[in-house]
Amino acid sequence: MQLAAKTKTPSAPEPAQKGPIVRDVQCNPMDPSLRQTILSQMKPSLSSYDGYHERLETAYGRTAEIRKYTKTLTKASRSSTNLEKTAQTLSLPPLLSLKGADGTYAVKRQLGEGTFAPVYLVENSAAALVDGDVSDENRPPSRVGKATHRKHLEAVKMEDPPNAWEFYIIRQSHRRLGVSRAAESVVRAHEMHLFRDECFLVEEYRDQGTLLDLLNIARLESGNGGGLDEMTAMWLTVEMLRTVEALHSKQLIHGDLKGDNVLVRFDDPGTETDWSPTYFPSGAHGWASKGICLIDFGRGVDMKQFVPNVAFIADWKTTEADCAEMRELRPWTYQIDYHGLAGIVHSLLFGKYMEIIGEKAGTALGQGATRTYKIRESLKRYWQTEIWSEVFHLLLNPLAHLEGEEGRRMPVLRGMRQVRERMEGWLEDNGEKGIGLKGTIARMEAIIREKRRKSVKNM
């Protein structure tokens, strides 16, 4: 059954928003009521966004059915015999027929749990019809009308209670980044269907796994239980630094950077491009097709909606995963992303979660800071210790690096760019030594491809 959507009628352009909506100088940016205030008052309004469909007067009521179906599939998948029996007795996959959607969405299985909601793999009927054979997960994007990035397999995040915030942050990210390398490293949000009881965020699906999956592959390959080889870890760090630097330059904060929120992006450079064994920081010669993709923007922050001198506070129970400012009840803004980045880099190098220790600072660091922080683990002597030390010092102590920043304020864009460019220079000079960076990535791609082939065969 399709439900009538709120139709968009042509009208005069909405007036531009003048200044930030939230005038408080101290607040919790994750507060649901504050976010709702932003969404209800911003201009242009959310209803003008392409792919946004709001039916708050209607309860859709599909959460229980979808959860039951995927739970049964998950249990059955533990045994091939059970899976065959279940396939014979289970009803047809739940179909999401959403007014305004590009086709219907057949739920195939659960991909995982996001920060706030489960994520499902779905088959887009419109894209499948164009693409023909729907069994191949490796096809390039289909061209369904204007939706040039749509594919026959996509991801749907189902949230209860409904919340359009992640859709807003992802769309703002792409709008502000424009056509750029950084934009290719941010997941695409195709549609948002908002009902009274639940909502469905339709997103791009990538099937090559997360950085944590990549780390596990490397550990099995090496057998040493540590992290990635230094060259690959440095390349991935460059990709993350470039993307986060670009988001921060547009006043956007991801808010939940961790290994399982960073997907691997090993795209095919295409037949017209030869992927060079020489590393090109510009992305030339096929290198732009290899990188990462940030997902799960549910804790994102749009700094444009706050006054310039805003100081955020964390009113939740903090853990080691939170930045020092949060744990010490000091104000924070962009530090949430810097600490998250440091944690990911640490896991890439050491294969374990980051622990930090504080040291009394020789000079005042601002915003009440009296200590500097460093990682507990010691860098290996044969690594590029100067570069890695600089990375961790910048990410764990950004207030100590404001000297060269515009207005001596966060974000530390200059600092991030400098350390990234230093890493890029090292990769240019050393990227072809041994098996080489390209060779390592190609080997990882082959392993991922084989794992994916086996998983598809067993579906």
CB proximity list for 449: less than 8 A, separation 6 or greater = none
Strand partners, 157: 119, 201
From 265, 218, 216, select the one nearest 240 (Cα to Cα): 265
Q: Is 256 a catalytic residue?
A: yes
Distance CA(371)–CA(357), nearest Å, equals 10
The whole-angstrom separation of Cα 393 and Cα 373 is: 7
Supply 359's token pair. 């040291």
Rg (CA), the chain: 23
Enumerate residues 6+ apart whose C-beta is below 8 A from 222: none
Q: What are phi and psi of 53, to 5 degrees?
A: -130, 115
Strand partners, 54: 194
d(CA 277, CA 284): 11
Length in residues, the chain: 459
Annotated catalytic residue, options 102, 229, 256, 322 = 256
Q: Cα–Cα distance between 245 and 112 in angstroms, integer?
A: 28
Sequence-distant (6+) residues with CB within 8 A of 107 are 66, 69, 70, 93, 94, 95, 96, 120, 121, 122, 156
What b/e string do you get for 281-300 counting C-beta neighbours within 10 Å, with b at 16 or more? Answer: eeeeebbeebbbbbbbbbbb
Cβ neighbours of residue 75 closer than 8 Å, sequence gap 6 or more:
82
DSSP class of residue 250 equals T
Q: Which of 267, 266, 248 is nearest to 415 (CA)?
A: 248
Q: Which residue matches tokens 């091939």? A: 80
With beta carbons less than 8 A apart as the criterion, state whether 301 and 294 touch. no
Q: How many CB atoms lie within 10 A of CB 306?
A: 23
How many angstroms separate the Cα of 313 from the Cα of each of 26, 30, 148, 239, 284?
7, 10, 40, 29, 42
CA dihedral 372, 377, 381, 385 (to 10 degrees): -40
Catalytic site positions = 256
